[in-house]
Amino acid sequence: MKVLHAHPQAGIFIRQTALAYHENNLLESFLTTFISHKEYFLSNLITKIAPYLKTQLERKAIHEIPYSRIKTYPYKELLRLFASRYTSAATTDTVFEWAEYSFDRWVASQIKAIQPNAVHCYEHASLATLQMAKKKGIFTVYEQPSQHHTFFAPIVTEQLKKYPELASNETSLLINDKSIYRNKRRDKELSTTDIILCNSSFTKRTLVDANIDKKKIHVIPHGFPKSLSIIKEKNINDRPVVFLNAGTQNLRKGIHLLYNAWKKANFSEKEAELWLIGKNTLPEKLLQGIGQNVRIKDSIPREELMQLYKEADIFILPTLADGFAMVLSEAMSQGVPVITTPNSMAPDFIIHNKNGWIVPVGKEEELLNQMKWCVENKHLIPKISHEALETAKKWQWKDYRKKTAETVQNQYLLHEEAKNRK
């Protein structure tokens, strides 16, 4: 069995999936847009011309996979990156769509030359690829890393009605005419593929609720990063409790709820601090009155963030809908328990009040009460931190890779047996 694995990005879970196939001698080709690799002329050229970009390029580094197994389609992705840095949200969105659909058509055009037994592709970037694979009788794997659109659209509408101050160019992109068209494309992808992989029981639930055949769906949660062996003593009783949030601050993540709950909590500087790390796409006016005990910083390299986890006491993410939310697994791997909602990886890994906390979705008061509980009972945080770390140790990326390879191989064999019986 040889797999064509394709995604326009090279994020952590995508690299881990490619590595899963490579480790098991299943990877025929990994197709993507732009990467950093010691043998890739373009990333080497950019590093030479603009050495200050080296740290950013490392975010796209793929060192574990031989370059001979990688094919790239880089230039439109580079234009998308340029647009995201220097143009408006609407322009960036237009370039994103153009680049993503172009990548899909390119992958479809490569199938004949690569001749794989299976194709593994991803949500929104694979309709042409799936259709070409089905035409040639090739087994298809479709990965759904986020909740089904029919679940999320009502949430956005409700939040904009309840919090009209959230209205912006960014939030309008979530429910405009383009989103309707894109969602129809996603539905075609889901109906075309042979099997669907998703990263949490929450993601699966949204698919089943949308009448997707549950027999096609397989849950393989993302792995936890390499975990600490032990947690360094933090002497939490002698200082404020540090709440940390990292990642893009937007409506989907429920960060406006965090802002409001924090203002209502009115913690003194001796009681608690809130650290907000990442790009803020919410209206700036929402931060008014946030308080002096809040530290705000733009996006930082992942290595720096992993160090920052060690300084925090609790990671907080009141997400409205995240298929998994890897910042949660990153925090737990560093012994930092999390406050989050059931619309994430939480139901698969977190037991409330044992190794973290699960609060209802979209409820400011419950979020506020949980933060207050943590401050009032901070002597219990070290024990809960220990439990969070132990949870992380039990499901590492190596476990994810093993499960992914086994699942796809088994489903491929079943598919071939069924095809041969016809």
Mean predicted confidence (pLDDT) in 4-9? 95
Distance from C-alpha of 175 to C-alpha of 178, rounded to nearest angstrom: 8
On the CB side of 320, CA atoms within 13 Å amount to 24
**Long-range contacts formed by 356-360: CB under 8 A, 24+ apart:** 356/332, 356/384, 356/388, 359/318
Which of these, 336, 316, 313, lies nearest to 238 by C-alpha position?
Answer: 313
- CB count within 10 Å of CB 74 equals 14
List, in sequence order, every residue forming a beta bridge with 338; answer none if it has no partner.
Answer: 315
Let me know if residue 231 belongs to a domain: no
Which of these, 170, 117, 94, 101, lies nearest to 4 by C-alpha position?
Answer: 117
Same domain, 329 and 408: no
Let me know if residue 144 belongs to a domain: yes
Mean predicted confidence (pLDDT) in 345-351? 98
At residue 176, the pLDDT reads: 65
Q: H or E element: which one contains 92?
A: helix 89-114
Distance from C-alpha of 248 to C-alpha of 245, rounded to nearest angstrom: 9
Say how many domains are in the chain: 2
Mean predicted confidence (pLDDT) in 137-141? 97
Let me know if residue 230 belongs to a domain: no
Same domain, 188 and 39: yes
Q: What is the pLDDT of residues 280-329, one digit of tens each?
A: 989 889 999 998 899 999 988 888 899 999 999 999 999 999 999 999 99
Same domain, 24 and 43: yes
Let me know if residue 405 belongs to a domain: yes
Q: H or E element: which one contains 381?
A: helix 381-393
- Kindly report the length of the chain: 422
Let me know if residue 377 belongs to a domain: yes
Query: Are the beta carbons of 7 and 122 closer than 8 angstroms?
Result: yes
The residue to which tokens 């590093």 are assigned: 47
DSSP 115-149: --SEEEEETTS-HHHHHHHHHTT-EEEEEE-S--H
245 phi and psi angles, rounded to 5 deg: -130, 135
Same domain, 218 and 260: no
Same domain, 245 and 212: no
Same domain, 139 and 16: yes
Same domain, 131 and 100: yes
At residue 173, the pLDDT reads: 62
Same domain, 266 and 280: yes
3-class secondary structure, 153: helix
Question: Which amino acid is it at 46?
Answer: I
What's the pLDDT band for 48 if we cut at 50, 70, 90? confident
At residue 346, the pLDDT reads: 98
CATH of the domain at 164: 3.40.50.2000
Distance from C-alpha of 294 to C-alpha of 272, rounded to nearest angstrom: 9
Q: Residue 171 above 80 pLDDT?
A: no
Q: Which domain holds residue 319?
A: 236-393
At residue 356, the pLDDT reads: 98
To 5 degrees, how large is the angle CA 216–CA 129–CA 422? Answer: 50
Q: In what order do the strands lie in the sheet with 272-277?
A: 294-297, 272-277, 241-246, 314-317, 338-340, 357-358
**Long-range contacts formed by 179-182: CB under 8 A, 24+ apart:** 179/149, 179/153, 182/97, 182/124
Let me know if residue 215 belongs to a domain: yes
The rounded percent of the chain whose pLDDT value lies above 70 is 98
Same domain, 180 and 217: yes
Same domain, 213 and 98: yes
Same domain, 162 and 48: yes
Let me know if residue 229 belongs to a domain: no
At residue 174, the pLDDT reads: 67
Let me know if residue 228 belongs to a domain: no
Q: What is the mean pLDDT of the chain?
A: 92
The reported pTM is: 0.92
At residue 401, the pLDDT reads: 98
Q: What is the pLDDT of residues 78-137, one digit of tens each?
A: 888 888 888 887 888 888 889 999 999 999 999 999 999 999 999 989 999 999 999 999
Strands 118-122 and 139-144, sheet pairing:
parallel
Same domain, 87 and 190: yes
